[in-house]
Chain A
Amino acid sequence: MSRGFRPPAPPRLLLGYGIVVAGLAALPWFTELTVYSHNLMTLAFLSIAGALAWNWMGGFLGQVSFGHAAMFGVGGFVAARILLAGPVPAPLAWLAGGLAAGVFALGAHPTLRLRGPYFSIATIGMGEATRLLFTYWEDFTGGSSGLSLPIQTDMKHHLYWWGLGLVALVAAASWLIRHSALGLQLLAIKADVDAAADLGVSATFYQDLVFALSGAVVGVTGGMWASYFSFIEPNDMFGFDRSIAFVLMAVIGGVGTVLGPLLGAVVFVLLRQYLLASYPQLYLGLYGLLLIFIILFEPLGLTGLWLRLWRRLPWARAEA
C-alpha cells in the first residue's frame, strides 16, 4: 500500500459539496426562516458534526463508544469557563474546549487496547465516572446547579454559520479520511487487529489518534452547545443519554459510511423535536425499536436503504 494513495475528489462531488454548503449558508438571507427553524437547523448542524466525529471511532474503527458525552462535556465546560473568565472571542473558547476534550480523550489510552464489547463497556464506565466526578467538582462545573454563560447578543443567530462551517469541515474530513491511506489503515484495524499489526499498522497509535480527533470535534461541538444555550449543567452535558444520542444518530444513518451519520443526525433531531412535542413519554422506546429494526433488517441504516432503492431505479439498472 503506497502512502501516496489518494484518489482525487471527483469534480462533480466537489461541486455538489460547494453548492450545498453555499446554499445552506445563504439560506437565511433568501428565505424567511422563522427563528424556530433557524435555531433547529443550528442544533441539527451541531448534532451532525458530533455524529460524524463519533463515526470515525464507531464506524471507521469499529469501536463503538458509549461514552462520547465525556468529551462533549469537557469541551462545553472548558469553553464556558474561558468565556466566563474574560472577553475572549467565542470561537477561541470553543477551540480551547475542543483541544481540552482531545487531550482528555487521550487519557482513555489504556482502554483503547480493548476491543469490541470490552471497549464499549469500558466507555460506559468512563463516561459515568466522568459525569460523577465533574458533577462533584463544583468549583469548575457549578455542580448540579450548572453554569450560566455571559449573554452575547446575536450569538445564537450567528451560531448557524459557525455550526455549518464546522459540519462542512468535519464532513470533508470524513470523506478525506475514508479515501486516504489513513482510512485504509483504520479499515484494516477494524477488520483484523493482528493482521494489521503484521503489516506495520499500529492499532494503538491510530486508535489514540482517531479517538483524540473525534473527541476534539465533539468537544468543539460541546463548546458551541454551551454558547447556544448559555446555560450548561454537568448531569445533562455528561449524561448517558447524550452518549446514546451519538450512537443512535450514526446507527440510524449508517455506521461506517462516510455521510450516513449526517442523514441520521438530521432525522434524529427532527424526530426528537416531533416526538418530544407529541409523545414525550415514548421517545426513548421508539429509538430503541428503531435501533432493533435497523440492526435486524438494514445494518447500514438509511444509507443501506438508499442504496437498495437506488439499485431499483431504472437508470441505475441501465448502467449496470
Chain B
Amino acid sequence: MERFIDLAVSAVLLAGLYATMAYGLGMIYGVLRVVNLAHGGVIMAGAYMGWVLHGRLGLDPYLSIPLVVGASYLLGVGMYKVLVRHLPRGAAGGPASLLLLFGFWLVLRNAAYLLFTGNDQSITTTWSTRSVALLGTHISATRLAVLGVGVLVPLGLHALLRHTHLGRAIRAVAQNPDSCTLVGVDVERIYTITFGLGTALAGLAGLLSATIFAFNPGSGSGELLKSFVVVVLGGLGSVLGTGIAALILAVVEVFAILVMPSYLTAAVGFIMLVLVLVIRPGGLFGHRVLG
C-alpha cells in the first residue's frame, strides 16, 4: 500500500511536467496545423539553457525561468520567420514541414553536442535533495516545484487564450485564418506569436525536466513522443484534457514498473503512443485532433 501511494504520488508529480511539454506542441498544431518535430530538440535546448545559467551564473533554475522562456520564445519566432513561414501553403502539415523541422532538430542536436559534448548533465541545486513530508511519504521538493509550475503555466496560458484580445485572435486564427484576414487580424503575426509561445513552453519544459532528469544532446525523442501522446489523448485547446491525459500517461508509465523490468518502461510511452493513435485517434474527450 505504501508503495502504491509512493508510485501514485510520483505519477502526479510527473504529470505536471508532461502537461507543460505537451501544451506547446498542441498549441502550435492547433493554430498552424504543423507538427513541430523539433519540439524534442527545443526541450533539450531549454534544459541546456538552464544548465548554463546555473553553472556559469549560479542562477537557481526557478529564477532563470523568465530568461529561458524569453530565449525560447525568440528561438521559436526565429524558427517561424526563417523556416516554417516559407513552407508552401496547404502543404504546411505535410511531409515537407516534418522534414524541415526534423532537419532543424538535427542542427540543434549537433550544436548542443559541439558546445557541451555528449556527456549526461543535470541541474543540481542546494535544495534538490530536500524533501517534504506529505501523505505519509517524502516528496522531493524539486518535483513538487515542477508540479506547481506545470499546473500554473498551462492555467495562465488558458486565461490568456480565453480573456485577452490576443488570445481571441489566436483562437480565431485556429478556426479560420482566411476569415481573420478579412476582419483585419494580422494572421502572420499571430502565427509568429503562437509558434513563439509553443516553443517557449517547450523550453520551459526542458528547464523543468533538467532539474529532475539527466539529459544530453541526443535526448528529446522520448519527450516529443510523450507530448504527442498527451496531445492526441487530451485533445486540443483544453487545459483539463491536457492535464488528464498527462496524468494517464504518467500513471501508466510509473505503474509499469510493477509489471515489467525497469529497462523496458521506456518503451511504454512509445507503445502507448501507437495504441492511442490506433484505438482512440479522436482523443478521450472528442476534441478530434486527427484531421
Contact = CB atoms under 8 A, between A and B. Distances in A.
Given A124-B221, A288-B110, A295-B103, A129 B274 contact: yes
Contacts of B232: 118
Contacts of B93: 116-117
Most buried by A among B100, B109, B266: B100
Interface in A149-198: none
A128 B225 contact: yes
A290 B103 contact: yes
A64 B37 CA distance: 13
A121 B278 CA distance: 12
Contacts of A287: 103, 106
Consensus secondary structure, chain B interface = helix
Nearest to B278: A110
In this complex, the interface size class of chain A, counting residues with CB under 8 Å from chain B, is 35 or more
B105 A288 contact: yes
B259 to A, nearest CB: 14
A299 to B, nearest CB: 6
B86 A121 contact: no
B80 interface: no
Nearest to B107: A288
A110 B274 contact: yes
B232 to A, nearest CB: 8
A126 B274 contact: yes
Contacts of A118: 232, 277, 281, 290
A133 to B, nearest CB: 6
> Which of the four size classes fits the interface of chain B?
35 or more
Interface in A259-294: 281-282, 284-292
A58 interface: yes
B5 interface: no
B41 to A, nearest CB: 10
Interface in B60-86: 83, 86
Contacts of B106: 244, 284-285, 287-288, 291
A251 interface: yes
A125 to B, nearest CB: 4
A66 B277 CA distance: 16
Contacts, number: 129
A58 B95 CA distance: 9
B127 interface: no
B10 to A, nearest CB: 21
Contacts of B270: 124-126, 128-129, 132
A132 B100 contact: no
B183 interface: no
A296 B100 contact: yes
Contact of B99 (A114, A122, A136, A247): A247
State the main secondary structure of chain A at its contact with B. Answer: helix
B221 A116 contact: no
A62 interface: yes
A240 interface: yes
Contacts of A290: 103
Nearest to B36: A117
Q: What are the 10 closest A-B residue pairs judged by CB atoms, nearest first?
A: A285-B110, A288-B106, A291-B103, A288-B107, A129-B270, A125-B270, A125-B273, A117-B35, A292-B103, A132-B267
Interface of A: 58, 62, 64, 66, 110-111, 113-114, 116-118, 120-122, 124-126, 128-129, 132-133, 136, 240, 244, 247, 251, 255, 281-282, 284-292, 295-296, 299
Interface of B: 35, 37, 83, 86-87, 93-100, 102-111, 113-114, 221-222, 224-225, 228, 232, 261, 263-264, 266-267, 269-271, 273-274, 277-278, 281, 290
Given A111-B278, A286-B110, 19 more contacts: A62-B95, A64-B99, A117-B98, A118-B232, A118-B290, A120-B35, A121-B228, A124-B270, A125-B273, A125-B274, A128-B222, A128-B267, A136-B261, A251-B99, A284-B113, A288-B102, A288-B110, A292-B107, A295-B87
